Structure 1
Amino acid sequence: MQLLVVESDTTAAEPLAPRLERHGHEAVTVATGAEALRAYADAELVLLDLDLPDIDGLEVCRRIRGNSDTPIIAFARKGADLDRVLGLQAGSDDCLDTPYEFRELMARIDAVMRRARRPPAPAPAPAEALSVGDVCINPGSREVRLRGRAVDLTRKEFDLLYYLATHSDSVVTRQRLMADIWGDTSANALGPRASRTIDTHVSSLRGKLGHSGWILTVRGVGFRIGRGG
């Protein structure tokens, strides 16, 4: 598998490539955001340090995600909780604290690639545009409009909103969301990191839709679609 390692600290990046190659991968290392934006098209997975010298790593993540479904694992300094949240909101598929254990990195690469390679589930009926209150969701164009105004959502945010809207008659559990939206059916689907991933996307959706009432939390169970404020 072709990996792109984006790391401004070359003393950290150079030893990583040979270790990845010993595990059967091909690794290309770049040190700046500009180089990453030129090189990511050839990669099957991007390992992205959020601390870059030229372009903010979050912006690099957003640009890659805006043009490609290439999986991204971001790296944030240990204890930088906000960076991890922003990294997920920018479109990364996972975010790992640095320094990290190499075995954990390999496990996360495997998990992200399993989800990325899984064929997408067919969109539930109806396939035509779906309205929930003042929100119109079009699965064909993957557009969302609130009272006629376009709402800019990431890929996962759209999937989450549409999934909840098409299951409006039920409360959807966290485990079911991790399985059907993130493709994670492992024991980790009920862990704290999975919960943070869901909570981050729910919070971002509420903010973009302008009211927490669009997605309702059912304590101890999961989430269901609401009608806004």
Structure 2
Amino acid sequence: MRDYRDAKAMAHTARVFLGNHGLKITNSQSLELIATALGVADWNTLAAKIRGEVSSARTEAATPPAATINAGIRPRVPRFSSELERTFQRALAHADARKHQYTTCEHLLLALTDDPNASKAMHGCRVDLTALKKSLTDYIDNDLRSIVVETGISMGGSRPTAAFQRVMQRAEAHAEQMGQQEVTGENVLVVIFAERLSPAVRKLYGQNMSAEDAANFIERVIVKRNGAAGP
């Protein structure tokens, strides 16, 4: 269960939740919101309290034996890498540029083709990135016309779908399970397969890439050869 020490993670969750319900707030606003919810005057005060506790904990941990040092230490919630943040922004930009009301898993997968970590994994799974980009672009331009909003949409106005949000949450959980300090495009690529009804996933299957292929490459660095996974 999260407490005030997880304030940044809580702020991120709040920002995503509000954005999914049509209310866009900045990172700073989400931090101030969490500080207020926790009964602290402002984010700077809460941040100082967190830093003070971390410093105190480090001092106390300097003297006990190793077994005591390792006992009860809470794992840190992975943060999104700078590359993945840019990938999310590209996905939103793909939707905004087309005046789409929603940002879907297809926008996300298209953005992942230019993500350094995810594209490396797809290449390792023998995905033709050029063909995948074209297929996704054609789908987004032609099959998603129903979510175009001719008026009232502006840059930053597109909202991630529930499926998009689920992928983000699963990616964070996958990174934490893997013991990573950062969530990357590779984590997103593994967990996107859970959205089985998504056209994005069908297009990956169309490239003969499966969830098992993604996990083999990302978790065990097994490169797919001749249509099958192999060492």
TM tier, shorter chain?
A: under 0.3
TM-score of the two chains, using structure 1 as the length reference: 0.28
**The structure with more radius of gyration:** 2
Give the structure with the larger strand fraction.
1
Give the structure with the larger helix fraction.
2
TM-score of the two chains, using structure 2 as the length reference: 0.28
